[in-house]
Amino acid sequence: MNSLAIAMPVFNEADGIQRTLNDLDAALSSKSESPVIFIQDDCSTDNTRELVIECSKGLKSVVKLEINKKNQGHGPTVLRAYERAAESGALVVMQLDSDGQFDPSELISLIEAVRGDADVAIGLRKSRSDPWYRKILTFSLKTFLTIRYFRSFKDPNSPVRAFKNEILRNLLKQIPNSALIPNIYLVVIAKQQNLSFEEIPISHRVRNGDEKTGSTWASKSKVKSILRLLKFSLRAFQELISFKI
């Protein structure tokens, strides 16, 4: 049984996935960590898969790649990555986005927190490098969650988080397979159940690759990229309103 599994959804990350995996592997191996990385590809239309396979040959970490049968979006893709990582039996399951907007050397603090008393550890992003409109969306989300659930939510959609495996398995059972924003639901449920919850400050970096707004929203037109993100955010907000614990 491996002690650490990483769940990582990917979609059209050819321009940065190898750097993300190499940096992650180098940082964790320097701490004597040998994770299994469960990559879930949401039917990328570039050569992401080929680059993952090529890169994995030179890593100390084990990479296990699975491809969705059809494009499902980020939510179902990250849920499937979580399920595979949890099924591995690893004591700690960490979820990371594939764009590398984190400092891999800081991840060990979350891992050690969950190996200790914490049930859940969330990376609290410092000095976010995201565009202004993404920061506004995050602020709006925090405000809504605080008002609705009477809890403090400092960074509910952080792309860096870790769980005790048995805790994660229980949380996943409470989330619909089609959820658009499963990571937010995981935080909400964990808070409502009064689980041991740590928020650990981490650095936030510009994403790897050429597309700075994220591959999911990528477009030749910056306006179209923003509109895609806003359209998704509206759908997610509508889903969040109807979400019941």
Q: Which CATH number goes with the domain that contains 61?
A: 3.90.550.10
What's residue 2's pLDDT? 67
Q: Where are the alpha helices (H) located in the chain, listed in sequence order?
A: 17-29, 48-56, 74-87, 107-115, 132-149, 165-172, 182-192, 222-242
Residue for token digits 């994995």?
56
Strand order in the sheet with 160-164: 62-67, 36-41, 4-10, 92-96, 160-164, 120-126, 197-203
Q: How large a percentage of the chain has pLDDT more than 70?
A: 93
Question: Which residue has 């979350």 as its token pair?
Answer: 110
Structural domains in the chain (count): 1
109-156 residue pLDDT tens: 999 999 999 999 999 988 777 778 888 888 888 998 999 988 989 999
DSSP state of 58: T
The pTM (predicted TM-score) of the whole model is 0.89
The half-sphere exposure of 243 on its side-chain side, counting CA atoms within 13 A, is 26
Amino acid 37: pLDDT? 98
CA atoms of 144 and 137, how far apart (whole Å): 11
41-88 per-position pLDDT tens digit: 999 999 999 999 999 999 999 999 999 999 999 999 999 999 999 999
The token pair at 241 is 């309103």
Element (H, E) at 7: strand 4-10
Domain hosting residue 225, numbered range: 4-242
